[in-house]
A = this chain, B = another copy of it.
């Protein structure tokens, strides 16, 4: 029996898509990557996933696990060979259980992140992972890429939010590892090995995730500062004065915010005069377990001291939930305003906080020297050392003038990231996009260890081939 026939017998003909039906799965959501698949299969449960993997392993057919297809690095898109099977986890979308005493829930890989947040909320709990694609990305993809987002400062990355996994190995065996334990020291940490491996070692089919109490109140403040060094000083003050209530600390270049209010005049920039012209702004979020009044009072104390010390030049503390939302909306509109000023080149990098100022200053200068007139679009999660360090075309540049030199820009920025001890992928993963850059920046011993792990767990190299590691 040929492969397609065997897959149809296994899953039912309607769950094996080919031709035009398969094409939407073979192109990523931003249409940057496109390939050809032998078929897209949509198993109903873990047992069917295991059966598919066993069949493909027997026949030596490569598999590409796929969730919401929202990778920013081509992590779930096939190559052009037409020989790979896309394994869609979309139908594994059940919340299997919620345990409010243990503060855990068990969800399947195909659950949309937003529905997991909602299931937690319905049980009176918080599932804190939050990111732009939450309406369409899936938990399986979040785990495969160790997703980050805006609340990492307090709650950690996806890695810190997962207690247990269910995984189908590259041999088609099922590892039942859905433990809901906060302490468990019985051997090697396979959980964290599969998390962040982008589907190249096996297929995550379900996970036990941590839940948290819902904050009683949230409050937001926007501060104007004269330098990145001042923003870092403020970060230290906020961490000390607000403790773990500090759930967000964002940095934004003043130009970014001024672009937002220029492009979207219905949004209001809450500063005027000299304050509105300052080079940097920080957005702080406080999640309080007491009351809104207490949250505001804490901000007033900590920000007041910083104003008095001259660390912060001006400040707005939200007076209402609506005002908090308006401040966050300014921050969230930066990528939209960025689009308005021309197609930009994006870098998702992390830097030790202590070297952030040096990195931005020296990289800005190097870019201006190499590409005079280029514009800088700089914002990110300062509390995590995570910068979205993007560059946009200069005023009046012809279309394509910047994008044609995309790889030169990547190289320049990533070399500088590496020089200050940073990472070229903070929260988006490697996929296809950064695969070939990895050996340039990683310790060769680390690369060799990664290849050993890959060979040990997937000796046939059928799991998401061509992602993360170049085939040896």
Contact = CB atoms under 8 A, between A and B. Distances in A.
Nearest to A353: B102
A199 interface: no
A457 interface: yes
Given A180-B352, A243-B289, A187 B438 contact: yes
A129 B177 CA distance: 27
A239 B182 contact: no
Contacts of A419: none
Interface stretch (A79-87, A114-122, A145-153, A272-280): A145-153
Contact of A289 (B196, B245, B355): B245
A186 interface: yes
A350 B182 contact: yes
A449 interface: yes
B185 A101 contact: no
Interface string A116-154: 000000000000000000000000000001101000101
Contacts of A468: 187-188
A180 B438 contact: no
A391 interface: no
User: For chain A, which range describes its interface: under 10, 10 to 19, 20 to 34, or 35 or more residues?
Assistant: 35 or more
Contacts of A245: 243-244, 289
B438 A179 contact: no
A428 interface: yes
B423 A183 contact: yes
A188 B450 contact: yes
B425 A186 contact: yes
Interface in A270-298: 287-290, 298
Interface in A155-207: 156-157, 159-160, 169, 173-177, 179-190, 192-193, 195-197, 201
A88 interface: no
Interface string A401-426: 00000000000000000000111111
A184 B443 contact: no
A430 B181 contact: no
A445 B171 CA distance: 10
A434 interface: yes
Interface in A432-470: 434, 438, 441-443, 445-446, 448-450, 452-457, 468-469
Contacts of A214: 240
Contact of A443 (B176, B350, B442): B176
Interface string A297-315: 0100000000000000000
A102 B232 CA distance: 9
A386 B182 CA distance: 8
A456 B179 CA distance: 26
Given A289-B241, A354-B101, A452-B456, A421 B156 contact: no
A137 B166 CA distance: 34
B453 A185 contact: no
A3 to B, nearest CB: 25
A394 to B, nearest CB: 30
A294 to B, nearest CB: 10
A175 B287 contact: no
A340 to B, nearest CB: 28
A350 B101 contact: no
B353 A101 contact: yes
Task: Give the 6 A-B CB pairs with smallest separation, nearest first.
Answer: A244-B244, A243-B289, A456-B456, A101-B354, A192-B192, A184-B423
19 contacts: A100-B236, A100-B354, A101-B232, A102-B355, A104-B352, A154-B244, A176-B445, A177-B443, A177-B446, A181-B423, A182-B386, A187-B430, A188-B454, A190-B446, A212-B239, A213-B236, A242-B289, A243-B287, A290-B298
Interface of A: 99-104, 145-146, 148, 152, 154, 156-157, 159-160, 169, 173-177, 179-190, 192-193, 195-197, 201, 212-215, 232, 236, 239-245, 287-290, 298, 350-355, 381, 384-386, 421-430, 434, 438, 441-443, 445-446, 448-450, 452-457, 468-469
Given A185-B196, A456-B456, 10 more contacts: A99-B352, A102-B352, A159-B192, A177-B446, A185-B425, A188-B196, A189-B193, A190-B446, A452-B456, A455-B456
